[in-house]
Amino acid sequence: MRILFLGDIVGRAGRDAVLAALPGLRQRLNLDLIIINAENASHGFGLAPAMADALFAAGADVLTLGNHAWDRKELLGYIDSQPRLIRPLNYPPGTPGQGHTIVELPNGRRVLVLQVLARLFMELSDDPFRMTAELLGKHRLGVTVDAIVADIHGEATSEKMAYAHSFDGRVSLVVGTHTHVPTADTQILPGGTAYQTDAGMCGDYDSVIGMDKGAAAARFWRRAPGERLAPADGPATLCGVLLETDDRTGLAVAVSPLRQGGRLTQS
């Protein structure tokens, strides 16, 4: 099975680049599933329902969110009607939406996609390790599902790495999101789980993590309110991870970074 995970879409530049590229990527890479983190797709903060619909129409199979999940309040009513849009699994009980989804492909294979919110330097949430363990107690890789992809949305590289090693051999891919910078540690762990600390973003890299560099840099020069941050709108680079799994075990047989367009070195 071939799965593409694209990192955080940031603003119009990232959104337009993803919408334009998805059909060609699916065909060129012979993809079975496309997963995208879209929590910053709407002007850099949150995801509007109309933009979620556009991403699904362009070919996204699953959208994940993160700490900006509720920046667009209209998503609160939308998320319960769209099972392919997931928010962090470790949000408290009663939170709208779900933290995981199972996608059934046309050939009958099933893929579990989940997201957790890390805790170091992030907003308070339930234990992502424990809640992932509970979910994996119900879904076994290579038995009840054919692949499992876990998006860990967080700041600390140590926490993401510890999470990946904790579930090595039990999921197909652990990939980090949130920091908007692609890391160079793409690998297959000893137990067969593919890993990259952060997928990076789909956005303009002539920026400060996707935001206009002038306004963002000014915040580090002075301790006073400045202009509202807005996404940079130059040519975007698509950043993500391409995974190939073993059809029998669901574990990774190949993984590589994807970088397309914009300013970054292409991969």
pLDDT digits (tens, 9 = 90+) for 111-160: 999 999 999 999 989 999 999 999 999 999 999 999 999 999 999 999 99
pLDDT category of residue 227 using cuts at 50, 70 and 90: confident
Angle between helices 49-58 and 11-28 (to 10 degrees): 20
- In a domain? residue 267: no
Total tally of structural domains belonging to the chain: 1
Task: Tell which residue, 149, 155, 146, has the closest CA to residue 180.
Answer: 155
Q: What is the pLDDT of residue 238?
A: 98
User: Does 260 have pLDDT greater than 90?
Assistant: yes
Q: Does the pLDDT of residue 222 top 90, yes or no?
A: no
By CB atoms closer than 10 A (0-12, 13-18, 19+), residue 211 is buried
Query: Residue 40 sits in a domain of what CATH number?
Result: 3.60.21.10
Answer yes or no: 43 catalytic: no
With respect to residue 178, please indicate whether it lies within any of the assigned structural domains.
Answer: yes
Could you read off the pLDDT of 1-27 as tens digits, one per residue?
999 999 999 999 999 999 999 999 999
Flag whether pLDDT at 224 surpasses 90: no
Residue 266 lies in a domain: no
pLDDT for the residue 2: 98
Q: Name the pairing type of β-strands 85-86 and 252-260.
A: unpaired
Residue 134 lies in a domain: yes
* Catalytic residue (choose from 43, 68, 100, 153): 68
Is residue 129 one of the residues assigned to a domain?
yes
Please say whether the beta carbons of 30 and 244 come within 8 A: no
- For residue 43, tell me if it sits in a domain: yes
- Over residues 81-85, mean pLDDT: 97
From the list 266, 248, 8, the residue with the least C-alpha distance to 142 is 248
Q: Mean of the per-residue pLDDT values for the chain? A: 97
**Domain span holding position 82:** 2-260
| In a domain? residue 152 | yes
Query: Domain for residue 265, yes or no?
Result: no
Residue 233 confidence class, pLDDT cut points 50, 70, 90: very high
Residue 80 per-residue DSSP state:
G
Q: What pLDDT score does 225 carry?
A: 75
